[in-house]
């Protein structure tokens, strides 16, 4: 094993998923030693196949809900991403989602306490539920249904934040929490039912573009590279940041407009827009306030939506071949 001075040893849980695999790639490019853990519940071997030959990349197929069977000489950082994250997936895997947000997180905390490592935990804009204020800043407590089909994820992630708060307060654990808003880009799972991947795949295959409800609901879409930039900055920040931080792109748009933009970028598509039933408890508006990320990290998203969508469309064209 490589033992260069300053080379960090880093765990990425959920490292074979969409965000995780992009993050592992960046951490390896920065010459770190990366231990990627994934149970492939929603991640894919294909996402990390190209990293397997890197001597600084180590992979463990494991569900972090169970004790993590790894021993290290030292462990600097843990990025905790393991969790189904799209509404279709977390509703299919609802009990697993609750377990990974709680038991899984306790296992991660045990490791961090033992090795005195920092944790960056990925929370979500879903902690704001169907928000009643716009944009959503970090001090907003949210409007969440605790007894519905989205609750496994929303409340699981809220509980995770509460767990981390207690370990920060009672054990002085170095934790950083990000609340990730809708993110898209290469390595998204084409089956996970998210709106960006669904619309692109439908358009590329001349299938109907399925808008849930009237399409007036809004989201704000951030490109994966912007998110990874923000994650690295918050982990590197010398001072502890005593609050969760929103990472998202404040470019709110309606789902109907998103469908039109994607069709414009795939001009050969013969797809038609159709309207289907609205999902239960679907948030009507979502828009991040990123003032804290700008203040603490000097971070703001750089990639404009059409540019990011073009990259993503190219990715889906390539994997179709």
Helix (H, G, I), strand (E, B) or coil at 176: strand
User: In whole angstroms, how close is the CB of 202 to ligand UDP at the nearest point?
Assistant: 8
Beta carbon of residue 193, minimum distance to ligand UDP (angstroms, whole number): 6
CA pair distance 24, 16, nearest whole angstrom: 9
Q: Given the complex with ligand UDP, which of 174 and 311 has the nearer CB atom?
A: 311
How near is the Cβ of 63 to ligand UDP at its closest, in Å? Answer: 23
Binding mask 177-216 for ligand UDP (x = CB under 6 A): -----x----------xxx--x-----------xxx----
Nearer to ligand UDP, 7 or 210 (CB): 210
9 vs 179, beta carbon nearer ligand UDP: 179
Q: How far is CA 140 from the centre of its chain?
A: 20
Does the footprint of ligand UDP cover residue 255 (CB under 6 A)? yes
Q: Is 86 one of the binding residues for ligand UDP (CB under 6 A)?
A: yes
**Residue carrying structure tokens 């993590």:** 68
In sequence order, which residues have a C-beta less than 8 Å from that of residue 144 and are 6 or more positions away? Answer: 126, 127, 128, 129, 130, 150, 151, 154, 155, 158
140 is catalytic: no
- How many amino acids of this chain bind ligand UDP (CB under 6 A)? 15
Q: Does 279 bind ligand UDP (CB under 6 A)?
A: yes
Helix axes 151-171, 105-115, angle to 10 degrees: 20
Q: From the CB of 99, what's the least distance to ligand UDP, in Å?
A: 20
Q: Determine which residue in the list 75, 219, 226, 228 makes contact with ligand UDP, applying CB under 6 A.
A: 219
- Choice among 153, 167, 184, 223 that is catalytic: 153
| CB burial readout 275-311, b (16+ within 10 A) else e | eeeebeeebebbbbbbebbeeebebebebebeebbee
**DSSP state, 276?**
E
DSSP state letter for 136: B
Q: What is the nearest approach in angstroms of ligand UDP to the Cβ of residue 286?
A: 6
DSSP string, 73-123: S---EEEE--S--SHHHHHHTHHHHHHIIIIIHHHHHHHHHHHT-EEEEEE
One-character DSSP codes across 182-249 = -EE-TT--TTS--HHHHHHHHHHTTPPEEEETTS--EEE-EEHHHHHHHHHHHHH-SS--SS-EEE--
Establish if 87 lies at the interface with ligand UDP (CB under 6 A). yes
According to CB under 6 A, which one of 22, 42, 47, 217 is a site residue for ligand UDP?
217
Strand 218-220 relative to strand 252-254: parallel, antiparallel, unpaired?
antiparallel
The residue (of 108 and 211) whose beta carbon lies closer to ligand UDP is 211
- Residue closer to ligand UDP by CB (options 198, 269) is 198
Nearer CB in complex with ligand UDP: 113/280: 280
Residues in 6-35 at the binding interface with ligand UDP, rule: CB under 6 A: none
282 touches ligand UDP (CB under 6 A): yes
Residues engaged in binding ligand UDP (CB under 6 A): 86-87, 182, 193-195, 198, 210-212, 217, 219, 255, 279, 282
Instruction: Please list the active-site residues.
Output: 153
């Amino acid at each position: 094993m490589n033992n260069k001075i300053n080379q960090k040893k880093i765990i990425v849980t959920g490292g074979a998923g969409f965000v995780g695999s992009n993050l592992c790639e960046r951490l390896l490019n920065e010459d770190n030693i990366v231990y990627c853990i994934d149970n492939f519940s929603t991640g894919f071997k294909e996402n990390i196949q190209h990293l397997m030959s890197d001597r600084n990349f180590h992979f463990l197929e494991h569900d972090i809900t169970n004790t993590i069977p790894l021993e290290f000489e030292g462990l600097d950082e843990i990025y905790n991403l393991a969790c189904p994250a799209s509404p279709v997936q977390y509703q299919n895997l609802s009990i697993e989602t609750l377990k990974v947000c709680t038991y899984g997180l306790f296992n991660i905390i045990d490791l961090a306490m033992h090795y005195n490592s920092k944790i960056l935990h990925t929370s979500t804009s879903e902690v704001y539920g169907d928000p009643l204020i716009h944009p959503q800043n970090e001090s907003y407590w949210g409007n969440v249904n605790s007894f519905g089909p989205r609750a496994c994820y929303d409340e699981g992630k809220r509980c995770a934040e509460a767990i981390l708060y207690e370990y920060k307060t009672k054990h002085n654990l170095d934790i950083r929490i990000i609340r990730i808003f809708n993110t898209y880009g290469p390595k998204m799972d084409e089956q996970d039912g998210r709106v960006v991947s669904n619309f692109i795949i439908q358009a590329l295959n001349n299938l109907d573009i399925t808008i849930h409800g009237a399409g007036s609901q809004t989201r704000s879409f951030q490109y994966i590279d912007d998110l990874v930039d923000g994650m690295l900055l918050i982990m590197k920040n010398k001072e502890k940041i005593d609050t969760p931080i929103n990472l998202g792109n404040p470019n709110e748009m309606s789902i109907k407009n998103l469908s039109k933009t994607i069709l414009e970028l795939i001009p050969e598509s013969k797809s038609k827009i159709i309207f289907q039933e609205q999902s239960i408890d679907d948030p009507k508006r979502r828009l991040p306030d990123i003032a804290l990320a700008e203040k603490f990290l000097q971070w703001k998203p750089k990639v404009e939506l059409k540019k990011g969508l073009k990259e993503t469309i190219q990715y889906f064209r390539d994997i179709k071949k």
